[in-house]
Every structure is written in structure tokens, then in C-alpha cells.
Chain A
């Protein structure tokens, strides 16, 4: 009997490609949530284990308060419960959107402390990013664009200074030279809302951007240099396209991907760098709120700030990653 190979049943669509696509889309979000939760858990247990007893601080315990009084305050703050019970209580509050109340300022919600401070800090970081991008991209393109050894060396020296100089030092130098010497901007402080506060933002933002600008500049210079040697760029130049047009229309967009990647990676450093700058300039941001909270062992405020900044960094990284993939689909592969 002859046998023939009959065609088998049609290959079943298992949806594996769709599933993989969905996983690829959801994966960063899931990772973001997991990382944020991990940061929250670690912070919660770390501060309660390492930082000391807030009840002693609040009561001015070093001035001779009785152990009974300190214990009573500890119970009032819920600090006498086991750590796990405290954590579950905190988690339950979070699920209801309640970050708790400040230990140091009874009746003041953590949310109000964090939101008020966050407005200042994110304005600072935002303006710093803007300055970094404008200067970094602009100078980077200029540096890539021509044979200017003097200009290149100046840029190189300033890049090194920007990378090496601590933020506090940069801030103080700017205060002494620009604010006091040049009387161009206030020497720190904060205004009574916007637009008055803009003048107080500029020098701190320059200080924060001092570190990121050289990095963006180098990335742009290198990438722009590569793009200029691409066949399409050389062809465009050969057809008589002006240098400026070539740089703006063709080279700059090709630098967006690496710049976004750098920004994404640098965000957490920008926010932590803002802490020092806020102290130097006396800005009422979450950096200063954090140092005050750590000094007074205000656990709920510390947790609230860590949670917020952790979440923001994770989300912004996510946005940067998505934007990179959108701008350059090759990055998605």
C-alpha cells in the first residue's frame, strides 16, 4: 500500500508574536512598579533599623526626658509595634493614597510636604535639563561641525571642569561671582511664587546642569561626528546644503537617541545632585526637606520623599526608553 504524506493540520496561531509584543510593552511598566516597591520596602526597614529613635528626637530626649515619656510618644507614633506590623500598616495606608503624617509637624501630611517641595525640585531639575540640552547639544554640534582646535580645547577644558567640580563648589563660585560680583541674580533663597521665583532658579539650575552638560556635549559631538561621515550627509553637503541646515535637519535628530539615553541614566543623579544645590542656595525643595527629615528622624517624610523620587526616576527612565524606541526603532530590536 502506498502512503502519501498528507498535509498535517494547519499550524495553529498560538499568538506567540502578539504575546511577545505585549510582553515587550508591559515589561518595562512591570519592572518600574517592582523597582519602586523594592525601593520603598528597603527604605522602610533600613531607616527604622539604622537611624535611631524619633521619639527621643521629638521629645528633646537629650535634655533629660524620662524613659516613660519617650515610650509613651513611641506608642503614640506606632513605633512600639513590630516592624512587619508597622510596614503592613504603612502599605495599607499607601493603598488608600495616604502617605501618613509628619512626625516632626503633627497634623501636616507627608503629601503636602512632598508636593510642595517637589514643585521646587522638579522645576530646578527641569530648568537644569533644559540648560544642559540647549548648551550641550548646541556646543556639541558646533564642536563636531568644524576644524576649530582652539574652540575644541576650550570645550574640552570646560567639560573636564564640569565633570570634576563638586556641585557645592560650583554653586558657591557662582554665588560669589555672578550673584555677589555681577549682581545679576540673587544669592540663593526663594521668591513668593511664580514668576518671582524664576530669578532664584537660574543659578541653581546652572549649577545642577554643570555636570550633565559636558556629558551631553561629548555624546552629541561624537555622534554628530559619526553622522557627518555618513554617505547621506556627505551627499547632502555635496549637493550644496548649508552646514547649518545639515546640522539642524539631519545631524541633530540623529543625536536625539543617545541624548535621551544619557538623560534617562542621569536622572537619579540630577535629583540627588539637586539636594546639595538646594542646601547651598536655600531652596525649599524636597532635597532640603529630606535633609531636615533625616536630621529629625521624620520617618514618614523620608519614606514619602524616597517613594516619590524613586517613582519619578523610574517613570522618567521609562519615558526616555520609550521615546528612544519611538525616535529610533532600531533601538527596539
Chain B
């Protein structure tokens, strides 16, 4: 038997050992976790992204995380910003149109340089825009298709001037030049091809220092050759990819990161002062249901109208999205950065009216509609699908949810045997011109079967098509009135069923006037 004194000595040692372990652990952690909630911005910040960028080339990836990085290291002719500043000069000193709108002249600032010190001239701008123009079928691209299909040719009359010859007037060109794909790259680097993207160079406020593309870890530091020499607070940025949202938020709370992007609605209630919420609205951001017009049930306008009457948009915003900060009820085509839908009546859920609409349709006594949903992209999508599925039971419509992945959904939709598709969409370009492609598929692009932002062509909506076509070339004064008319026609036909607006919510250790997002992925930093 063990002696009693030995037992007592061992028992006394245990708390000492435990305390030593705790002290050692705290010491190990001491240097790496600054307290959460300190409000002063240091010159180095860490941002936790929700995903690893698949590519640094905005022509290869339009993802949120790629765009967030691109806007920081990329130089653009014009600024991407809030409201009236969108399209204001950046690398360009001025962007002016000829009276007929068919020629745009860009004057570059003098003495421009890339972050590696090489000169930036008009030939680099031409090469950068030509890179996009020479991309096969770029006119069909859902983001830059409208603008690129309007540009005929880009030339450089001198080192500081770029001339764009247009095939049709495009009033929104200054703003379009600020969108992610319009990044200005060295002409010599473009010729290098893929190897350039191992360590790309541009003329943005920051430059890329280290790149770990496999793990989504990047560091950027202030570009010493940036054209704007105004002293700025933030000089270094660390990007880390933390794919789990709860962990992302935990790292923010512990002070490991300063900004955590794209926090789902169900976690927002955990955010307490001094942490702040940063709501970044997508331009034209929408959660909705796209329609397969070849489906005998979903293709029936009365069924679509019944669905629109039967859904409870407030409930979708509250339960699926976690509150109106993430999404507001939407009844028409969202317009401008506030995603208003002018001239569209807000409708309340009306089950009786919805059932009345179904009389004489294939859903009169109940029906099943296949609903295709992407599960691995926006977190909102599967949640919205589930809530809508529950809501439509009240009118006898059974939604059969079919989950698929982002990579496979295009092929799945091309198979044709689906009725509805849960879509989410937003744009970078804050002009009316994207609405043309947004609302109605453009037959010229051969892009009708593509789910991303365009709809299958529906021949018997001539009024809506005509209005959409006019939108592509409408002046900024004509556009708001046109949107109202579009929404009137839209409400009659419902070629898709709008549900809520779409926003991303980030959480910051700093007040929102210090760091905030614009258009979901453009970080405004001090």
C-alpha cells in the first residue's frame, strides 16, 4: 500500500502542475491574441475570408473572395465606390464621351507606375482591355457582357490617351471601367500568360507580397508607386481563409482577425458591442426563383403568380436569412445600390388569392415542381429553398428540392427537367445596362440556357423584351422611368419570382465608418 505521506505529497502537487500548465498555455498564447474590441486601427489588419480564392485573375473567377483581393491590389481607370462616386477617376484623369456617345476618350494621369516601378501607359490599358475583348464569347458574360459587347475597338493615340470606339452608346462606361475584370495589367505581363498570375502586378493601392494560393493566405502592403500619395492609415493587410463561419467569428472575437466577412444570419445575434456589423449590399442583389418556361407547370404564368402570392417574404428574411440586415422583402427588379424596386407594390402573403390563381391550372388539385438548389455557394440558398418549400405546402404545391453543386448546376439545368431554380445574383456594375441581360436573355449571346443572371428566352413577352433592349442604351435620366415600366410589365408576367434582396454581412472590430464594404466585396479602408 502506498504510504499516506506519499499520497498527500502527490495530491498537493496536482494543483501546482495544473496551474503551471495554465500559465504556460497563457504564455504561449500571450503574443498572438490581442484583445477583441480595441477601436484604434493599426497600420496592419487581418481579414478572414470565407473561402479560398480559386484564382487571382478576375477573368477566371468572379467570386467574392477573388474580387475582394483584386480591388485592393488592382489598378483601375475609375473608382468602384458608393453611389455618385462610382466611376470617378482613378488612374484616369478623365473619361469623356463624344456627343453621339460612340467614342470615349480616357486621359491618364501623368507619371503612372505599376507597383514594380515600371511605367503605366496607354498601351498597357489597351492590352488589358484587349485581353478581355479577345476572350471568346465575352459578350455573353453575365457581368461584363453588356459593356464588352458595346466596345468595338480600343486604341492608344498617345502614351496618355486611350480611345474606345463603341458599337452603340453606353452611358455607364465610366462605372463599368471600375468593375473587377477591368483591371489594368502590364502589357508585357499579359504576354507571359499564366505564369504572370503566380505573382501578379498592377497599380492598386496595395501590392501583393506573399501568396499562398493553396491555403488562401495573402499579404499585401502599401504600393509605394500608387498615384494617390494621400497618407493612409492601413499599410499592410493579411488575408486568411477561415471557411467555418463560427470559427471566423470566434477568431474575430479573440482578436486574431480584425474583420470577418460573410457571417451567416444565424450567428449575427452573437455579435455584441464593441464589434460592429458591416452590411454590404450587392448591386441588384436578389434571392429569387428562376423559371423553366418549358416546364408545363412552372411555365404557366398563373402558377408563378400564385407562388408569388403564397410566399411570405418577411418570414424568408427572418427565418432563412436571419433578419432584414441580410435580406429585405423584394417584389420586383432591384434597382441601384439600395436595391429598391420602384413602382412595385409590396404584396402580403395571400393564400386565398394564391389558391384562386391556381384554378384551371395543373396545380388546381396539388402538384409537384422540381426545385434545383446549389448547396455549396451562397449559404442563403438552401435555407431559402427550405422555407419556400414549407410555405408553398399551404397552396398544395410540393417543391421537390434537388441539391446540386455550383460546378454541376449549369449542366443540370441544361438537362431541362426542372421547374424552378433558387438563384442568387448581384452585380458590380451600378448602371442600368446590366438589367437588359438580367431581366431577359439576350439571344445574340447564345447564352439562354445559362442560369447565371439570364433567363431562357420567352417569346411571348414582347413588351418586356422591348423595354429591356431600351434599357441597354438608356441615358441616366431616362433609366429610372424605364425601370418603373419594366417592373410594371414584370409584375404582370413574372418571368422570375423575386423573394428578397441580397446582402453580405461582415463583422469588424472597428466602427463601420472605419472599415466597411461596398457592393459586397470592395473594402473601404482608412
Contacts and interface: CB of A to CB of B under 8 A. Distances in A.
Interface of A: 51-53, 56-66, 68-69, 102, 104-108, 113, 116-117, 171-172, 175-176, 179-180, 183-189, 191, 196, 198-199, 202, 242-244, 279-282, 284, 288-289, 291-292, 295-297
A189 B447 contact: no
Given A64-B445, A186-B32, A199-B29, A58 B244 contact: no
A64 B137 contact: yes
B512 to A, nearest CB: 23
A297 B411 CA distance: 15
Interface residues of B, number: 59
Interface in B131-152: 135-137, 140-143, 145
B516 interface: no
B242 A184 contact: no
B450 A186 contact: no
Residue of A64, A104, A281, A295 with most partner-chain B CB within 10 A: A64
A140 B143 CA distance: 62
A295 B136 CA distance: 25
Contacts of A244: 2
Contacts of A107: 194-195, 198
Contacts of A102: 214
Given A183-B26, A187-B256, A282-B241, A66 B140 contact: yes
Interface stretch (B54-62, B292-300, B323-331): B54-62
B407 A63 contact: no
A14 to B, nearest CB: 56
Interface string B1-12: 110000000000
B408 A52 contact: yes
Contacts of A51: 407
B25 A68 contact: no
Given A106-B194, A108-B213, A295-B376, A188 B251 contact: yes
A294 to B, nearest CB: 9
Given A108-B214, A186-B32, A282 B244 contact: yes
Contacts of B236: none
A300 to B, nearest CB: 13
Interface string B363-405: 0000000000000100000000000000000000000000001
B243 A199 contact: no
Give me the 7 closest cross-chain CB pairs, A-B, nearest first: A66-B137, A284-B215, A64-B140, A187-B250, A282-B242, A199-B28, A184-B25
17 contacts: A58-B55, A63-B143, A64-B145, A105-B213, A108-B214, A172-B250, A179-B250, A183-B254, A185-B25, A187-B251, A189-B242, A189-B251, A199-B32, A282-B241, A288-B243, A296-B54, A297-B407
A113 B62 contact: no
B243 A60 contact: no
A187 B446 CA distance: 49
B253 A180 contact: yes
Contacts of B250: 172, 175-176, 179-180, 187-188
B33 interface: yes
A279 B136 contact: no
A292 B62 CA distance: 17
Contact of B22 (A184, A186, A196, A288): A184
Contacts of B215: 284, 288-289
A296 to B, nearest CB: 5
A183 B52 contact: no
B64 interface: no
B182 interface: no
A188 B452 contact: no
Given A186-B32, A244-B2, A63 B452 contact: yes
Nearest to B195: A107
A292 B254 contact: no
Contacts of A296: 54, 407
Contacts of A242: 2
Contact of A64 (B194, B198, B242, B450): B450
B214 A284 contact: yes
B409 interface: yes
Interface string B231-252: 0000000001111101100110
B85 to A, nearest CB: 27
Given A60-B61, A116-B214, A284-B214, A188 B407 contact: no
Contacts of B458: none
A243 B253 CA distance: 48
Interface in B251-279: 251, 253-254, 256
B69 to A, nearest CB: 15
A175 B247 contact: yes
B28 A198 contact: yes
Given A59-B60, A113-B214, A183 B29 contact: yes
Given A179-B254, A184-B22, A189-B251, A68 B242 contact: no
B2 A188 contact: no
Interface string B426-456: 0000000000000000000111001110000
B33 A292 contact: no
A52 B247 contact: no
A281 B246 CA distance: 10
A243 B2 CA distance: 7
Contacts of A291: 243
Contacts of B241: 282
A105 B450 CA distance: 26
B29 A63 contact: no
Contact of B54 (A64, A104, A199, A282): A104
A101 B241 CA distance: 23
Contacts of A61: 410
B81 to A, nearest CB: 24
A313 to B, nearest CB: 23
Contacts of B195: 107
Most buried by B among A61, A198, A291: A61
B153 interface: no
Nearest to A112: B214
A172 B61 contact: no
Contacts of A52: 405, 407-408, 411
A292 B60 contact: no
Interface string B470-488: 0000000000000000000
Contact of A63 (B142, B240, B446): B142
A87 B486 CA distance: 54
A106 B192 CA distance: 13
A184 B26 CA distance: 5
A261 B473 CA distance: 73
Given A105-B214, A106-B194, A180-B253, A279 B244 contact: yes
Given A52-B407, A59-B60, A281 B247 contact: yes
Contacts of A180: 250, 253-254
B93 interface: no
Interface string B215-236: 1010000000000000000000
A85 to B, nearest CB: 24
Contacts of B194: 106-107
A62 B247 contact: no
Nearest to B56: A105
B98 to A, nearest CB: 30
A37 to B, nearest CB: 27
A62 B406 contact: yes
B214 A60 contact: no
Contacts of A292: 52, 214
A198 B29 CA distance: 10
Contacts of A202: 25
B33 A183 contact: yes
Given A107-B194, A187-B256, A69 B407 contact: no
Contact of B217 (A60, A113, A284): A284
Given A179-B250, A189-B240, A279-B243, A63 B54 contact: no
